[in-house]
A and B are shown apart, each in its own frame.
Chain A
Amino acid sequence: MDMLTYEETKEQALKRKELTERLKELIVERLDLDIEPELITDDQPIFGRGLGLDSIDALELFVAIEDEFNVTVFDDNIEVFSSINKLADYIVENQEE
């Protein structure tokens, strides 16, 4: 793989930040959470002890991701929902350019 220039690296980092911020907003909006999106960290578990979300929220989030990014998370691949970073990776990998 070619080394990225400083500009390219910077652009990539900005894009990533945009995506993770949008994901946090989306989670707070669609799941009607009573927290500020920026308080969610990128590696914090989303479900269970993390944000305290349940399986009903998982369905909601699945629908939101499909609507917003046109990316389908399959139910045998639920670890995609384990953190914002994992989710962002999955979206980047599976989004059609």
Chain B
Amino acid sequence: MKTVLSVEQIRELIPHRWPFLLLDRVVELKPGDMGVGLKNVTVSEPFFEGHFPRESIMPGVLIVEALAQLTAVVYGTKALQSMQENDEIAATTVENDEFVIDRHVDISSRVGYLVAIKEMKFLKTVVPGDQLRLKVKIGKKFGVLSQVKVAAYVARECVARGALTVSERPDGDKDTR
């Protein structure tokens, strides 16, 4: 499976960090449209300590969080693309399908917010050893809000699916640091 974004590149795109960065790799990406990512679940995750002491289950809300983080990547790469088109940052380029991110551009500060979780279903428990294959597809947009169809799979079996609504950052902060 081809790596489109490594975890180092993901860190450039979203502000999340341990223990809350829940996306290991992006394997498919159409900026502003869709993405497929991987999250490897290990028993060393801090949340398994309490969820639960006698039975390790990844909390459903954290699967949603992983899907939301992938959504932020799909948005962030789109923002990078339009910055590049507008020549705002010449140093950000897409070379051989690979995103090269200028370290002086803090694209992660533009990550929007999660505003609604709709009809989320959790179909199977996710346990240590599972690899979550996360899929997000951006849907209709109205104003600053967009609907996103999301699903998570373990070994081709759907473990969670539903829809999120996300908001662009209202200030559209264009500072480069």
List residues of chain A with CB under 8 Å of any chain B CB.
Answer: 55-56, 58-59, 62-63, 66, 73, 75, 78
Contacts and interface: CB of A to CB of B under 8 A. Distances in A.
27 contacts: A55-B143, A55-B144, A55-B145, A56-B115, A56-B116, A56-B145, A56-B165, A58-B142, A58-B143, A58-B145, A59-B140, A59-B141, A59-B142, A59-B143, A59-B145, A59-B146, A59-B147, A59-B165, A62-B140, A62-B142, A63-B139, A63-B140, A63-B142, A66-B140, A73-B142, A75-B143, A78-B143
Contacts, number: 29
Interface of B: 115-116, 139-147, 165
A56 B146 CA distance: 9
Instruction: Tell me whether chain A's interface is mostly helix, strand or loop, or mixed.
Output: helix
B68 to A, nearest CB: 15
A75 B142 CA distance: 6
